[in-house]
Amino acid sequence: MGERDKEWEFHLRSLSSSARDSNYAPDPASDPSLLNSVKRLYELCKSENSEDLIARVYPHLNKIFQRSVASISQSQSQTSNGLLLLAILQFFLDFGDAILHDTDPSLKTFFRSCLSREFSDPVVAETTLEFLNANKRKLLSSFPTLLPQFFPLLLKLIAWNGEKFEKLFLRVFPRLISPGSFIPLFPSLVDLPILVVALEKVEGSSGSLVGSSIASIQQSAAPQMLLALMDEAYTGSTIGDGGADSESEESNTMAAADPLFLELLKDENDGLTERHWTSPAMAAALQAVISTPQSDRLKEALRMAPRFLDAYFALAVRDFSSSLICALIPLLMTRYTTLFPDKIFSYEVQKRLLEFMLAAFHRSPDFIAVLKKPIVDKLGEAYDNPAKTELALQLCWAIGEYGGGGESHKDAARELFESLELLLYENLSSSRLGLRSGSTVRKSSQSRLLCFVVTAIAKLATYHRELLPRTSVSLAKVARSRISDVRVWKRARDYLGLMNEPAICWSVLGPSSVSSKSNQNPGTVNWNEASSKMIAHIPFYMLGAQEGPPFHDFSFSDVIPRR
C-alpha cells in the first residue's frame, strides 16, 4: 500500500498544480503528463471504490475541465483537449452519483466546445467513438436525448474520418435515432457525400479543420455574404470585382456561407429544415465535383452512406411507430430524385428507398390512402426524368397491389384511380398528336410505365367494383388506340377479356393475400362459382399462343367434363 499511496499523492499533486490558475500555463492540456495522471487516478478510484478518494479527486478534475473549456472558447488552446476532457468525463459518468455531479451539462459542453473543433482529429474521433460505445447503456438510460441532439456533429466526424471508423460508428448509430431525430436524420444520411464536399470546401478556403470551429467560420462569413448579396442586388457587381484573387477568395467564402452549406455544417439537430438544392453555390459545388476527380474521402462517403441507410431502415422497422414511418415516406419520394450525382451511389440509394417504401406499403396498405396527395403529385411528374418515371411506376404497382389503401378506403381509391386515368389519357392524347418523341429507351420506359398504369387500373377495379364501368371505358379506349405501343393496348385488351370472367379475374388481379372480401386464396380459381359468374369465352391466357379475341363460343362444361 505504501507504493500505491505514493503514486496517489504524486498524481494528486499533479492535478492540484494544473487546477490552479496560472498565467504561464493557461491551457491544462499543454502538460503532457496530466492526461496520464487523470487516467491513473480514475483507475485507483475504481479499484479502491472509496468515496473519500473520489471526493478528493473531484474538485481538481472539475476545475481542470472548466479551465480546458475556457482555453478552447478563448482560442488560446494550441493543443488537443479532446483526450483530456474525455478522460475527465469518464470519471464524471462513473462517480457522478457519489459526488452529486450532473454530467449532462459537461457532456454537452464537450460536444459544443471541443468536439466541434476536433472532430477531424483522427485520434480524438476514435477515442470519442470508443467512449460513446463503452458508455452507450449509461448514456441511453440517463441521457437519452444527447446523441440524437448532436447527430449532425457525429456525422461530420465519420464523414471526415471515413471507413476506418465505420464499424465503431455503426455501434453508436442506433443511439443517434430517437423520435425527435428519426426524420431529420434521413436527409443527413443521404447527403453524407455533400457533407464531405462542404467540409472540403471549408478546409480549402479556411485551412485545416483541426482546432478550427466551423461555427465561427460561418459567423464570420455570414456578414460578408450579406454585403455581397446587397451589393449585387443594387449595383449588379460583387465585392470580389476588385481583382481575380479577391474574387476567388470571396466566392469560396460565400459558398461556405450559403444556406445549404450552413445547414449541412451544423452541429446540432434543430429539426427538419428545407435543403436548398437549387442554390447557386450548390450547383457550382456539384459541377466542380463532377468535373474533377473525386477525393478519397468523398469516395468513402459514397460507399458508406448506403450502408448507413441499411442500418437506419432496419431500426425504423424494428423500433419506430407506423405514424413516424408514414411521415417519412413523402420525404423518401422527394429525395429519390434529388441525390448526389454519382451513378453507382444513386442506384444503391434509390434501390434502398424503393425497397423500404414498398415494404412499408406491404406492412400498412392504408399508408397509400393517407399519402394519396404526395403520391398523386409524383404521378403527375412521371415524365420529367427517368428517375421520376421509375418512382411513378413503383407507385402505380403499389396502388394496384394494395387496392389504393384497401377495401375500406373507397374515396382515396377513387382519387387515385382518377390520377391513373388522367395519366393514361394524357399519354393517349400526346401519342395521337405525335408529341411524345424521343429516344427508343425513353419510349420504352414510357410504355413500361403505361403497362403498369393499365394493370393498376384493372386491379383497382377488382378491389372496388364500383370503378368497373369507368375501368371498362378506359381500357377499351386504350385497346382501340393502335397508335400507342403494342404492349400497352394488348395488355388493355387482355384485361378487358379477363374482367368478363369474375371468378378468374379475382384470382389473377386480386390481392396477393387472403382478403376479407373473399376467402379465396391468391392464385386459385373458385370453380364452384363458375356456373353463375363465368360466361362464354375461355380467358386469354388459356388459349396459349392464339392471337386476337377468342373465336370459340362454348361453355367450360364442353372443355372440362363434369364428374
Q: What is the pLDDT of residues 217-261, one digit of tens each?
A: 554 444 444 344 334 443 444 444 444 443 344 444 434 446 667
Sign, CA torsion 327/328/332/338: positive
SS (H, E, C) 250-301: HHHHHHHCCHHHHHHCCCCCCCCCCCCCCCHHHHHHHHHHHHCCCCHHHHHH
Give the model's pLDDT for residue 212: 57
The better pLDDT of the pair 300, 252 is held by 300
pLDDT at 554 over 80: no
Whether 155 has a pLDDT exceeding 50, the answer reads: yes
- Asked whether the predicted pLDDT for residue 547 surpasses 80, the reply is no
% of the chain exceeding 70 in pLDDT: 74
Buried b or exposed e, range 255-284, using 16+ CB within 10 angstroms = bbbbebbbbbbbbebeebeebeeeeebbee
Share of the chain above pLDDT 90, in %: 46
Higher pLDDT among residues 559 and 472, named by residue: 472
pLDDT for 264 equals 80
Res. 345 pLDDT band, cuts 50 70 90 = very high
In the DSSP assignment, the letter for residue 381 is T
Q: What is the average per-residue pLDDT within 179-207?
A: 89
Average pLDDT of the residues in 375-398: 92
Average pLDDT rounded to a whole number, residues 313-319: 94
Helix (H, G, I), strand (E, B) or coil at 516: coil
The phi and psi torsions of 191 (rounded to 5 degrees) equal -95, 20
Is the pLDDT confidence value at 83 over 70?
A: yes
Contact status, residue 414 vs residue 470, Cβ threshold 8 Å: no
| pLDDT > 90? residue 175 | yes
pLDDT at 540: 44
Mean pLDDT of 91-117: 93
C-alpha cell at 353: 428507398
More confidently predicted of 501 and 302: 302
Q: What is the pLDDT of residues 33-58, one digit of tens each?
A: 889 999 999 998 888 888 888 999 99
Nearest to 158 by CA among 206, 197, 126: 126
Q: Of 24-28, 74-78, 449-453, which range is least confident?
A: 74-78
User: Does residue 483 contact residue 447 with C-beta atoms inside 8 Å?
Assistant: no
Which cell is 267 given?
452541429
Higher pLDDT, 272 or 119: 119
pLDDT value, residue 139:
94
pTM above 0.85, yes or no: no
Higher pLDDT, 426 or 110: 110
What is the identity of the amino acid at 254? M
534 has pLDDT over 90: no
Look at residue 305 and tell me whether its pLDDT is greater than 60. Answer: yes
Confidence tier at 29 by pLDDT (50, 70, 90)? confident
pLDDT band at residue 287 under the 50/70/90 scheme: confident
For residues 445 and 41, the model is more confident at 41
| Type and span of the H or E element at 36 | helix 32-48
Amino acid identity of residue 58, one-letter, is Y
Residue 334 has pLDDT above 90, yes or no: yes
Q: Cβ of 330: how many Cβ atoms within 10 Å?
A: 15
Residue 204 pLDDT class (50, 70, 90 cuts): confident
CA distances from 490 to 239, 340, 400, 534 (A): 64, 39, 19, 22
Q: Which of 441-450, 460-469, 539-548 has the lowest mean pLDDT?
A: 539-548
pLDDT above 70 for 396: yes
pLDDT value, residue 372: 95
> What is the C-alpha to C-alpha distance for residues 38 and 88, in angstroms, rounded to an integer?
7
Beta partners for residue 518, in sequence order:
515
Q: For residue 246, what pLDDT is reported?
A: 39
Residue 528's pLDDT is 54
Is residue 74 over pLDDT 50?
Answer: yes
Q: State the pLDDT at residue 539.
A: 45
Average confidence score pLDDT of the chain: 80
Is pLDDT above 70 for 87? yes
Please tell me what DSSP assigns to residue 163: G
